[in-house]
Amino acid sequence: MEKIILNISGMHCASCAGNIEGALKKALGIASARVNFAAEKAYIEFDPLKLKVADLIAIVGKSGYKAYLPGASLDTEKELREKEVKSLKIKFIASAVLSAILMYISMGPCLGLAVHKIVMDNMALVQFLLATGVLFCGYQFFTRGFLTIIKSHVANMDTLVALGVGSAYLYSLFVSIAVWSGNKSFGMQDLYYEVAAFLITFILLGRYLEAITKRKTSEAIKRLWNLRPKTARVIRQGREEEISIEDLIVGDVVVVKPGQRIPVDGKVIEGYSSVDESMVTGESIPVEKTINDSVIAGTINKSGAFKFKAARVGKETTLAQIIKLVEEAQGSKAPVQELADKIAGIFVPAVIIIALGAFFSWLLLGKSFIFALSVFITVLIIACPCTLGLATPTAVMVGTGKAAENGIIIKDAASLQVAHEIKAIIFDKTGTLTVGKPKLTDLASYTLKEEEILKLAASLEKASEHILADPIVSAAQARGIILTKISQFESISGKGITGRAGDTEILLGNRRLMQDRKIDLKIAESDLGRLENEGKTVMLLAQDNKLIGLIAVRDTVKEFARATVDKLKGTGKEVIMITGDNNRTAQAIAREVGIQAVLAEVLPKDKVDEIKKLQSKGLKVAFVGDGINDAPALTQADLGIAIGTGTDVAVESGDIILIKDDLRDVAMAIDLSAYAMKKIKQNLFWAFFYNTIGIPVAAGILYPFTGFLLNPMIAGAAMAFSSVSVVSNSLFMRGYKKKLIKVSG
């Protein structure tokens, strides 16, 4: 199966998206199809052996819409959106001017305003010409509204507009012809041209404002794409030359100077600098780069010049992978959207039935044709499935975009929804709550100076391949200690190491090694007990069979681990730590980060069972791990959060990927999910509330009791602004930066 994204133009409501989606799903060879009305994109998975891209575009075309592949650059798509906004603006201004003139001449005489005699003598003709001009500005409502019925046998929002406006216009034309024919039964008061004109004007205004606000929902993607420079300086055949970024190939040596953006992913081969990676990772502090360090496309070189070898280019770069994940997330559907989609699918035909029912009901109750026609038009116009179609996807687009700006990749809308429902959060220990690399924490001397103890231990470990050798040797080097040459080095499995420094024998190991050599440990007993209770690995150092000191190492807790755990517990989450490490070490780490529930000595394959136990209690469980060794646990959890993944973003198993190695982002992802869901629920409430109240009022339900009948022009204005209000509510999420969780380490 192959995945593809198509841009769709011509959609103006949720029914449009549903029509396209239905047509695609019926085609043989299409595994799945999702159409996002807010993003104006179709996300299709298809069998390339049965269908070609041209076939997919043709299917969309037969439904009455235009599909095309995204442009090679974002500029192409931006130009198309700008063109649409500009076109709608021109059409709105033209229709507004014509409608204003029409309103003046039709209402002016009643208000005592001067109207030229020629106009008064040809009132029906002038109104007809002005209204026709307005309808020409909104011709697409008629072509799209009726073409979808002809081509796909379904109606959409444009159909409602075409029926409502068309009814007012055609009735007015009928009255005009009667007046021109000398029929005295009709007069100027029977003309509805201004209603038809203003309905088109209001709807064009709504579409114009909607186009502007919808364009803003995808700004996160645009900003990410803009991080990529268009050219790069490479060294080829011994010469430095500037080439297009599309011409870069793996293995090219790229030259980056201060202030320039890094064009593709790679590894530094010459030079030293600090790089601002904030636009990709959200981390504000520049990262130092030297030989063999990785660099990420889109980041900014701050100080020195350096050369690097291109490792990933084009669609393979970290930046491209992030953009792809965000685009897919923005096109996905949250479970909460399913109800809105089902309603939108039957909404338009239901509205037409209600409008016709109201029309004939009022006629049967003895009301005039004009009265019944007014009700019919008002019901058709006020009904707005756009709000239902925009409620969820706009919030998902802004929410996932805002997350991406802060180094949090939410893979789909379902993950965005489930994150705020999490009740229990399980943290893996090593590499997640802790740094994952042992560090020298304690040094005790019983005879010599501490530096001498470290010197002897590091000299021995220098010849060792033990996992704990590195932190000891690194600590000695950091202090500028010159190591001693060791002879007769020997590693004693499970116990320690020995060797000779000059004429003395040196031993470094655990209790068992010292006990085998009958070395007295009384002087170190209190230190041993304290350090072991703190979960540290203690190594005893002896010289010529006499204990002279000890060294302790331990994996250190990450900077914001305690603050993040406290934040999560403060929001009512149950926080658990799981590890394959021994219980004593696990408990020590847990105490340090503030976790009471600890699952220690758990094998990787058993982590899944522990998650299932919690799920069997009815809890929604999130698992936070490094995303590599914890793939089964990340998959089993209701929400898998892969942390500290760096440039391996696209291959991790998590539902949410944290690019930075910052535990605060776990809390932020959950908080952002809750905020996005709040916006979605607000949007859906207003969408349902608007239609639940608006349609009965438009049908005249209040008229028998209050004499109130909704004017079609007011209905048009309300419909136009309802979808704008929903999109605007979602856009408020762009200010989420002000709500960033503040936790101190």
**What DSSP assignment string belongs to 475-499?**
HHHHTTPPPPP-EEEEEETTTEEEE
pLDDT grade for 510, boundaries at 50, 70 and 90:
confident
- 465 contacts: CB under 8 Å, gap ≥ 6: none
Is 630 known to be catalytic? Answer: no
Residue that the structure tokens 């190939």 belong to: 249
What mean pLDDT is predicted for residues 699-715?
Answer: 84
- Please compute the mean of the pLDDT values over residues 222-247 and round it to a whole number: 82
Q: Let me know: does 621 contact 637? Beta carbons within 8 Å.
A: yes
Q: Which residue has the tokens 């608006």?
A: 694
Residue 457: how many CA atoms within 13 Å on its side-chain side?
A: 38
Kind and range of the H or E run holding 499: strand 496-501
pLDDT at residue 93 is higher than 90: yes
The region of weakest confidence among 447-456, 545-554, 626-635 is 626-635
Helix (H, G, I), strand (E, B) or coil at 469: helix
For 76, 396, 562, 585, 659, the CA distances from 407, given in Å and listed in that order, are: 27, 16, 21, 31, 5
Residue 73's pLDDT is: 47
pLDDT tier for residue 248 given thresholds of 50, 70 and 90: confident
Backbone angles phi, psi at 483, to 5 degrees: -80, 155
Amino acid at 438: P
Burial class for 730, CB neighbours closer than 10 Å (0-12, 13-18, 19+): buried
CA-to-CA distance for 52 and 61, rounded, in angstroms? 14
Q: Mean per-residue pLDDT for 614-638?
A: 83
**How many Å separate Cα 71 from the centre of its chain?**
21
In the numeric block, the tokens 């002000």 are attached to 738
Residue of 252, 412, 428, 626 with catalytic role: 428
Per DSSP, the three-state class of 275 is: strand
Instruction: Name which of 83-97, 459-473, 516-530 the model is least confident about.
Output: 459-473
More confident residue, 67 or 716: 67
Average pLDDT over residues 305-317: 86
Per mean pLDDT, which of 30-39, 227-236, 496-505 is the most reliable?
496-505
pLDDT computed for residue 203 by the predictor:
76
- The separation between the first and the last C-alpha atoms of the chain, rounded to the nearest angstrom, is 47
Please, which pLDDT band fits residue 562 given cuts at 50, 70 and 90?
very high
Looking at residue 646, its pLDDT comes to 43
Q: Which of 21-30, 247-256, 327-336 has the lowest mean pLDDT?
A: 327-336
Contact present, 716 and 417 (Cβ < 8 Å) = no
Asked if residue 62 lies in contact with residue 18, where contact means CB atoms within 8 angstroms, the answer is no
DSSP letter (8 states) at residue 521: -
Is 70 exceeded by the pLDDT of residue 174? yes
The average pLDDT across 296-325 equals 82
Closest of 160, 198, 146 to residue 711, by C-alpha: 198
DSSP-assigned letter for residue 735: G
pLDDT grade for 558, boundaries at 50, 70 and 90:
confident
CB 274 within 8 A of CB 262: no
Summary mean pLDDT of the chain:
81
DSSP 8-state code for residue 651: G
3-class SS at 188?
helix
Task: For the sheet with 273-276, list strands across it.
Answer: 287-289, 273-276, 300-301
Per-residue pLDDT at 98: 93
**Average confidence (pLDDT) over 534-548:** 88
Model pLDDT for residues 430-440, shown as the tens digit of each residue: 778 888 778 88
Q: pLDDT value at position 72?
A: 44
Cα 354 to Cα 367: distance, rounded to the nearest angstrom: 17
pLDDT value of position 82: 77
> Measured between alpha carbons, how far is 622 from 632 in angstroms, rounded to an integer?
13
Give the DSSP H/E element, type plus range, for residue 266: strand 265-271
Among the residue ranges 192-201, 264-273, 380-389, the one predicted with the least confidence is 380-389
The answer to whether 667 and 426 have CB atoms below 8 angstroms apart is no
CA-CA distance, 54 to 204, in Å (whole number)?
32
> Cα-atom radius of gyration of the chain, to the nearest Å?
35
Instruction: Look at residue 721 and tell me whether its pLDDT is greater than 90.
Output: no
Summarize the confidence of residues 241-264 as an average pLDDT: 89
Among 220-224, 408-412, 624-628, 732-736, the minimum mean pLDDT is found in 220-224
pLDDT at 626 over 90: no
597-599 and 621-625 strand pairing: unpaired
Q: Which tops the pLDDT comparison, 249 or 148?
A: 249
DSSP 659-696: SSS-THHHHHHHHHHHHHHHHHHHHHHHHHHHHHHHHH
Find out whether 457 and 581 touch, Cβ atoms under 8 Å: no
**CA–CA separation, 459 and 478 (whole Å):** 14
pLDDT of 186 > 50? The answer is yes
Average pLDDT over residues 189-198: 77
C-alpha to C-alpha distance for 723 and 210, rounded to whole angstroms: 7
- Long-range pairs, 26-35, Cβ under 8 A, ≥24: 27/51, 27/55, 27/56, 27/59, 30/56, 31/1, 34/331, 34/332, 34/333, 35/8, 35/11
642, pLDDT greater than 60: yes
Q: Is 706 exposed, middle or buried (0-12, 13-18, 19+ CB in 10 A)?
A: exposed
Here the tokens at position 81 are 């959106």
How many CA atoms are closer than 13 Å to the CA of 72, on its beta-carbon side?
A: 3
Model confidence over 260-276: pLDDT tens digits? 888 889 999 999 888 88
Distance from C-alpha of 171 to C-alpha of 192, rounded to nearest angstrom: 7
pLDDT of residue 569: 92
Helix segments in 239-317, DSSP class H: 278-281
Integer angstrom CA distances of residue 65 from 21, 232, 423 = 12, 39, 44
Cβ atoms of 314 and 266 closer than 8 Å: no
Of 83-97, 327-341, 388-402, 561-575, which range is least confident?
Answer: 327-341
- CA–CA gap between residue 539 and residue 504 (Å, rounded): 19
Domains of the chain: 2-70 (3.30.70.100), 225-312 (2.70.150.10), 406-433+558-670 (3.40.50.1000), 436-556 (3.40.1110.10)
Q: Which residues of 675-690 are buried (b: 16+ CB within 10 A; e: fewer)?
A: bbbebbebbbebbbeb
Instruction: Give pLDDT, residue 470.
Output: 83
- Cβ neighbours of 54 (radius 10 Å): 8
435 by DSSP, 3-state: which? Answer: strand
Beta sheet of 239-244, edge-to-edge order: 239-244, 231-236, 253-256, 306-312, 265-271, 294-295
Lowest-confidence segment of 282-291, 300-309, 335-344, 483-492 by average pLDDT = 335-344
